[in-house]
Amino acid sequence: MTPSPRPPPSTDHDERIQNKEEILAAIERLSESGIKISVEQIHGRDDLIAELVELTTEFRATTDHLRRLNGSISRHETDLETLKLRAAARDAMCPLVEVLRTEVQGIQAAILKDLRAARDLAVQHKAELEAEDRWEKRLMPFIRPAVIAVLSAIFTLLVVNGQALFKAVVLKVP
């Protein structure tokens, strides 16, 4: 896929040449008309002509540079395609490529197996947590008050019968 070099924009180039010629012709007509031209105007005309020459030279240099670049880009693209084909041919001829390919595929299979196991374990753990959470939400409204009531009853019994328990434990009286 090599793109053809782009031709330079001919209309712009032709217009610039025509404009330059018109400007130069107007300057010549002015100088030939016999109108008194001051020294500053003569220097201005010379500066304008020098500027037109510089612009024309830069334009030609830019056009030549673009032509060279378009040619080198297409040449580089052709070379790149050739290098890709050579690399593919070398890969096809090299016996190590198949060995490495099978090794890489084996490593990929092992990694995928471990990833599947880790994913299954994570899914199982998540399911267990969700089941536990579900049971906890269903039973805790009943269990929590029951535990609080049992602990309160035990504490109340300890307070009410504290002296008797103290005597029984400390004095070991039956």
Q: What is the C-alpha separation between 82 and 107, in angstroms, rounded?
A: 32
Q: Is residue 123 part of a domain?
A: no
Evaluate if pTM is beyond 0.75: no
Give yes or no: residues 89 and 15 share one domain.
yes
3-class state of residue 44 by DSSP: helix
Q: Which residues contact 54 (CB under 8 A, 6 or more apart)?
A: none
- What pLDDT digit, counting tens, does each position of 117-170 carry? 999 999 999 999 999 988 888 888 888 899 999 999 999 999 998 888 888 878
pLDDT mean over 18-43: 72
Q: For residue 6, what pLDDT band results from cuts at 50, 70 and 90?
A: very low
Range of 21's domain?
10-93
Residues 43-94 pLDDT 10s: 777 888 888 888 888 888 888 888 887 777 778 888 888 998 888 888 777 7
**What is the predicted pLDDT for the residue at 123?**
94
Domain boundary among 33, 68, 93: 93
The mean per-residue pLDDT over the stretch 6-14 comes to 55
In a domain, 117, yes or no: no
In a domain, 40, yes or no: yes
- Asked whether residue 104 is assigned to any structural domain, the reply reads no
Give a yes or no: residue 115 inside a domain.
Answer: no
Query: Could you tell me if 73 and 3 are in contact, meaning their C-beta atoms sit under 8 angstroms apart?
Result: yes
